[in-house]
Structure 1
């Protein structure tokens, strides 16, 4: 049993260490042209404006 736990730890921990938070995007309302920053679409009637950002204010572009 300890061997299985060790193998899982050795394989899963490095993958978890590389994980990063979801990106933020600017979205514009097709109805009012209001712009918001969100990780997901606010709903129908919104279009994605820009590339990905690292912060909730959509100020820091995400670098690949």
Structure 2
């Protein structure tokens, strides 16, 4: 059992170490037009307006290669 579990655990840890952070997006309120920056959807009252960004201030765009 250890011969299977240990290599799988090592593979999982190596893969998670290579993962990058989630991108940020700019969201606009449908109610009053307010803007905010978030990595996750804020709900049905918000629409995604710009992104993806590298930072939490939605200033540094991620450039597609």
TM range (shorter): 0.7 to 0.9
Equivalent residue number for residue 19 of structure 2: 19
Q: Taking structure 1 as the reference length, what is the TM-score of the superposition?
A: 0.76
Q: CA deviation at 1:17?
A: 2.0
Equivalent residue number for residue 35 of structure 1: 35
CA distance in 2, matches of 1:9, 1:31: 47
Q: Taking structure 2 as the reference length, what is the TM-score of the superposition?
A: 0.75
Moved over 6 A (4+): none
The structure richer in strand per residue is: 2
Give the superposed CA RMSD: 1.8
Unaligned runs of at least 5 residues, structure 1:
none
Total equivalences in the alignment: 64
